[in-house]
Structure formats: structure tokens, C-alpha cells
Amino acid sequence: MPALIDSIKNFTRVLFDTGFDPAVVKLPQVSDKHESNISGLYLVGEVRGTPLIKMGLNQGHALVNDLFADHQRQNSSEGIYDVLIVGAGASGLGAASRAHELGLNYVVLEQGKTANLIRSFTKGKPLFIEPENIPLESAIWAEESSKEELLDKWDQQIAQLGLKINTHEPVTDIQKQNGTFVVTSSRDTYKAKYVILAIGKSGNPRKAGVPGETENAAKIAHFLADPDEFSRKDILIYGGGDVAAEAAIALAPTNRVTLVTIDPEFIFPKKRNVDKLLDLQKEKNLDIHFSSHLKEVAKDSVTFEKDGKLTKLANDQVFEMIGAELPIKFFNKVGIKLEGAWDFKRYLYLAAMFVIFYAVYALKAPWWPFNQSWFSDAAGAAVNWKDYLTFDWRLWGFTKHISPSFWYAGWYTAFMSYFGMKAYKRWGVGFNDSYQKKRYVTLITTQWTLGFLVPEFIMWYVHHTAGASTALGSPDYAWKAYGFEYAWPLQFHQFFYDISVFYIVWGLLVSFVVIPILSINHGKRYCTWFCGCGGLAETWGDQWRHKAPKGRRSKAWEWMNKAVLVWAFVATILVGGNMIFGKFWYDDIYHWFGLVSQVGEQARSWYSYVADFWLVGVIPVTLYPFFGGKIWCRYWCPLAKWMEFWSKRFGKLGIKSDEKCITCGECSRFCEVGIDVMSFAKNQERFSNDNTACIQCGICVTVCPMDVLSFDKRGRVELNGDAPDPRAMAKVVA
């Protein structure tokens, strides 16, 4: 209970926190085919969350290949480009190279120079073309090299191939007219059938917005290309990420450097950079100020604020390194929507999903209006829809009893199997990952057996040995058999009703012996390997896993499944305890148990309606396309919190990381319970149910291009090698 109260207090505090949250990443709305909400306008590369050089080249190459699979020029005779590419970074060059190979009528418009982001890297910085296990598809050269060598190779190749690239020509507008795009630049107007936005974010650096920023723009930079250009200068670096950290490390030995950041401590930089910064501070070669804000940039000075006190320093150069932003104004002008943006169509979609899944779960329950008698039979008796779904039929000479649960479970199982195979192909086959193959095979097999065939056998066997008059053989209790794979408190009614001693013993054994042991050794893997509720999210909901809410606010809502677990405990003890023990007491004491039972019955009844109907069924499944598939598991499932109770205190399983993280963000993007995995990976921190809601699905391990992440069990000595790989220490995001 104190932990629940602390969680609610933390929630109310975070609810009003409007500060920058690194886990919340804004990206444009893009389909699996890279298409935006505007038909024919595609986004690739960093702008859609793919910052790696090789991946960008491949993405641009593959997109052009898909658009022009027949290798035919489309509209060249009409003065309309087949494809217009905006941006000449890695993904733009990959697209241009393939368009050139196919003989398409194309043009590339670049607001600055080619490969602007790479040109902004520090002089001599090594580039390692990752991931190593994925082949380069583009004809553009990409091998491990220094920044300068790669740029020389690219410049030579662009000239040799004769790629049509217009540099220093920013695009100001893109509009679609009569099926053709009209692209306006600073120089001209172009028409094209397709447009590919291959822009990065480096051209749109975030500004501090302080006095003097515009007037003294000449002394403000947003990247450090050559530290040798600065010596014995008074330099202020404003920022707390890796870019700011690396600039400070490069400049501190030969300059008077002050690092100012709004963060209370180093949150964003990699551990190796933090260690170097602290060493420089210890050696008095670097002055660091946390929880501080830049206030003014003057001609010969700079002012920052800390704890309400202003500090003015002599200054020759300011580096504003507080990140970059998507070109939101440009997107709004063009009509490109961001992920999660709400408009009329999206609200209409939400309403339609709600109606569909309310009907599905209301039919199953049944709840209104399907719990009403709609008409009468010939004898005048009320007839319910369930009467038409419950009948006997003959199968291989046996009388088979069919209940509404049969139809629901059958369709549920088929649905899970279809989308489960798609997820198996996506993660198991696509990444050649044996863990994901085993996980999805187990999930689908469990649903077919414990979730469908075994309950059907139980219903058939009891019905034909004990008869339908028994509770277990009655179709009214079919839910008991179909809940065989679930443990209390997910199977909330496990200990209610006089059904079978077997189910009581089975329920106690699974919930209080098997689940704790599994949780201690495997965390919450039950959610992603066996559970039918979690299975629907892992299969059908998998296509939306990247939409899981992320950041401090979304994490703060996780207190709710603690409340649901407490509710389940109280209701079960009040009702189940009275049923089991009440009849053994004298009449006067039994009367007291009866009063308790009335309270418990109300708690049970409301739990059935709120948790078993709305929270496990209607609401989360409705929200799959909007907030990912794990809404129930993450926020309301009491069994998930029960498993977390054991794994948090005694669990062994976690996920560790090595020193090779390149902060590409793929691990965080695909985490379906919203964990900022990258923040752990870049700092080589282990995470588990000690500090996260991790369900051990392993997708973050699967998608990591550097194989940074891996499962491990606490207490087991595992070495990553005798010494860190010096090449890995220099990995960069490009």
C-alpha cells in the first residue's frame, strides 16, 4: 500500500512536468513503405528516425527500386520529373544513385552542401559503417573511414556518375495538384510524380531564444568541425548531450571552456564521454554548471543563470548544442502529419474501433444490449442470442457440445495465429532471430492448446461423463475451462463459485507457486510467451508497437495496475474467504461473514465490469492502433504487477549492454511498454523489473544493429572481453 501511495504522488508530480523529455521523440507519420499521409510523398533517413549511414543509403536505394520496379521512365516527355529528391545526405544519395542507374528523370535539391551532417562532424572523426551484418545495397561507397576520406570518395563518385544535385537550393513548399507535385525552391518551381524527403535535422538546430542571439550570430555555432581552429579562447558550450560533451572534450585542453546545461546531472551523454568530462573538471581544465540557463549573448561576454544568480563571463565563442528539431512549420505548410496527431478522421477511426470492440466483448460477456431477451419462442419463453449459439452436433460419432465460448475462442485463436505468423516473419525470419522464432511459436501453440483445444476437451469430457447438470459441464461455466491458461488475478474468478476442487488447487498452485518461480527466473516472459491477452497484443497489436507511449508522463501512469491488483486481492479475500471459511463458524459469526460477503460481492461485481470488461477488453484493444498493443499489460493487468512484485525483489533476469551503442534509437522506438532503452544502453546500464516495466519480449535485443543488448541473469559472471574495442568507442550516429 505505501508503494501504491508513493506511485500516485509521483504521478501527480510528473503530470504537470512540461520539461524536455528525451524519451519522447517526434517523428512524421510514415507507413511501412515510407509513405507519408500524403500519397506519393515519402520520407527516408534521419527525418523518419533512421540515422545510420548504411541504413540511409539502403533505404533510399530500396524506395526508388520499389517505386520504379518496372525500370520505366514515367513522365519525362511531359516535363515532369519521375522523382524529386529533397536532401543530399546518405538516404538522398542512395535514392539519387538508384534513380540514375534506372535512367529516371530525377533531380536532387539540397539546401546546403552534400552530406551536410557528416561535414559538421569533428575533424578526423572515424566513421564505422554499421550494422556489419547487413549488406550495402547502394552503389554509393561506404566503408570504415575518416570523415574526410568518406567525403572525398562521395564527392568523386557524385562527379563521376554525374548525379543531378542542385546544392544551396532550399525547398520552400511542396503541394500536390491534380496528382502531380509542385515543388517550389529558392530558385525555381519543379513538377514531379513522386517526392522523396531525405532531409535530416541538423539543418534545423534548436535555439536558446535569448537576447543577443540574433545580433551576435557570427560568434554562435551549432557544431564543431575543426577544434584546431580554436586556441586560448573563452568558449561557452550550452548543452548536455553527446555533441556538447565531445566538443568540450576536444576544446578544453587548449581553451578556457565552460559547459552550461539545464540538466541537474549528465543524463544524455554516453558513459565514456561523462567519464572524460569529469576527469577534465577534476584537472581544472573544464568548468561545468548544471541546472543552469543561458540568458544573454553579448559581443564580448555571455551570461547564464543558476539558482537565481546571474554569472557573466568573458567570451569569444558560443556553441549552442541543445539538439535539433523537425521542421514542424515546413511540415505544417506541406500538410505532413506527425505520429499521434489527432484530426477528425483519427477521432472517427477511434469511434469506429470502440463500437466494433464494444460489440465483440459485449457479445462475449454478455453485456448490454446482448444480455437482453430480444424475442420469444413458440411457447412464449424469452430467447437470448446465446440460445442460438449453444447446441449439440455430431463429430466423428461423438456428441459435441458447443457454447458461445467455442466461437469466440475459435476466432480468437485463428486471429492470433494469422497475425502471429506475420510477426514471426517480421522478427524471427526478418532478423534471423531464434529467440523471436521460439517466442512466437510458443505463443501460438499455447493459444491452440491451453487456450482452445484443451478447454474444448474438458467441456466435452465432463459433459459426457458427469453431464451438463454439473457446473463444469454447463455452457454457463465454459469461461472456466477457457481460462485454463490464465493465472489469478488475471483469471479473477478462479476461486469463486462451487465448481471444482481441481480448479481451486490448480489456481493456488499456478498463482502462488508457478508464477513466483517463473517471475524470479524469467521476469514477465509469461506476458509475451504464454498469455492469451498479451498474445493478442504481440500478434495483431505488433504492427503498432512503436506507438507505445513514452516518457516520464506515460511511465507515471503505471501505478494503476498496482491499484487493480490491490482491488483483486481485497475482492477475492472478502468473497472467496467467506465462501470457504464462513460455513465453518457458528451462526452469529457467520452472520458477520455474510455482511462482509455483501461488501465483497459488490467489489467482485464492479471488478468484473470495470476490469474484466472495460480494462482488459474494450478500451485497450480499441487503443491498439493509437497507443500500441500493451496498454492493458502495462497499465492495468494485475497479473503483470503480481509477476513484477516477485521479479523486482528476487528476479534474476535482466538486459545488459556493452560499450558499442551508437544511439540510433531503434531499441527505444520498438519497445512496446515505452521504456527508454537507449538511455540504459548508451550508459552501459542493466535494466530489469528493478527499474522498468520490461516484459522481456527481446525486441530491443533483436533490432539493435550493433548487438549491444543481451539477456543476462544477475549474479552470473559474464565478461564482454579483456578490454573495450577501441573502434567501438568511436562509433558515431550518421
Residue 120 lies in a domain: yes
What grid cell was written down for 335? 500538410
What grid cell was written down for 670? 520498438
- Based on the fold, state whether residues 117 and 253 are members of the same structural domain: no
Return d(Cα 98, Cα 83) in angstroms, integer.
11
State the virtual CA torsion across 78, 80, 83, 87 in degrees, nearest 10. Answer: 160
Note the pLDDT of residue 491: 87
Note the pLDDT of residue 729: 31
- Based on the fold, state whether residues 178 and 229 are members of the same structural domain: no
Residue 226 lies in a domain: yes
Contact in structure between 620 and 489 (CB atoms under 8 Å): no
Taking CA atoms, 95 is separated from 116, 145, 164, 168, 302, in Å, by 17, 22, 12, 19, 44
What grid cell was written down for 583? 460455513
Note the pLDDT of residue 588: 47
Note the pLDDT of residue 181: 96
Structural domain that includes position 298: 217-320
- Based on the fold, state whether residues 130 and 58 are members of the same structural domain: yes
Contact in structure between 696 and 651 (CB atoms under 8 Å): no
Residue 390 lies in a domain: no
Taking CA atoms, 669 is separated from 270, 277, 287, in Å, by 18, 29, 35
Taking CA atoms, 681 is separated from 129, 269, 661, in Å, by 19, 11, 6
Note the pLDDT of residue 513: 95
Tens-digit pLDDT profile for residues 405-425: 777 888 899 999 999 999 999
- Based on the fold, state whether residues 164 and 222 are members of the same structural domain: no
Contact in structure between 453 and 606 (CB atoms under 8 Å): no
With 0.85 as the threshold, say if the pTM is over it: no
SS3 633: helix
- Based on the fold, state whether residues 138 and 234 are members of the same structural domain: no
Contact in structure between 699 and 430 (CB atoms under 8 Å): no
How much helix, strand and coil, in percent to the nearest 5, is found in the chain? 50, 15, 35
Note the pLDDT of residue 383: 55
- Based on the fold, state whether residues 180 and 254 are members of the same structural domain: no
Angle between helices 242-251 and 271-282 (to 10 degrees): 40
Among 707, 655, 529, 637, smallest CA distance to 132 is for: 707
Note the pLDDT of residue 315: 96
Contact in structure between 147 and 166 (CB atoms under 8 Å): no
Contact in structure between 269 and 239 (CB atoms under 8 Å): no
Q: How do strand 309-314 and strand 171-177 relate by DSSP bridges? A: unpaired
Burial string for 81-114 (b: 16+ CB within 10 Å, else e) reads bbbbbbbbbbbbbbbbbbbbebebbbbbbbbbeb
Return d(Cα 591, Cα 519) in angstroms, integer.
40
Residue with cell 497475425: 419
485 CB-contact burial (10 Å; exposed 0-12 / middle 13-18 / buried 19+): buried
- Based on the fold, state whether residues 222 and 183 are members of the same structural domain: no
Contact in structure between 153 and 145 (CB atoms under 8 Å): yes
Q: How many domains does the chain have?
A: 2
Contact in structure between 151 and 118 (CB atoms under 8 Å): yes
Residue 132 lies in a domain: yes
Residue 589 lies in a domain: no
Question: Residue 197's beta-bridge partner residues?
Answer: 43, 86
Note the pLDDT of residue 449: 92
Note the pLDDT of residue 452: 87
- Based on the fold, state whether residues 88 and 156 are members of the same structural domain: yes
Return d(Cα 361, Cα 367) in angstroms, integer.
8
Q: With a cut of 50, which residues of the chain have pLDDT below it?
A: 75, 391-400, 469-471, 473, 582-591, 715-734
Residues across the chain: 734
Residue 440 lies in a domain: no
Return d(Cα 700, Cα 672) in angstroms, integer.
10
- Based on the fold, state whether residues 153 and 247 are members of the same structural domain: no
Contacts of 242 (CB under 8 A, 6+ apart): 268, 269, 270, 273, 663
- Based on the fold, state whether residues 287 and 172 are members of the same structural domain: no
Residue 92 lies in a domain: yes
- Based on the fold, state whether residues 240 and 186 are members of the same structural domain: no
Burial string for 486-515 (b: 16+ CB within 10 Å, else e) reads bbbbbbbbbbbeebeeebbebbeebbeeeb
CATH of the domain at 177: 3.50.50.60
Residue 168 lies in a domain: yes
- Based on the fold, state whether residues 152 and 84 are members of the same structural domain: yes
Domain C-terminal end among 320, 344, 369: 320
Note the pLDDT of residue 539: 96
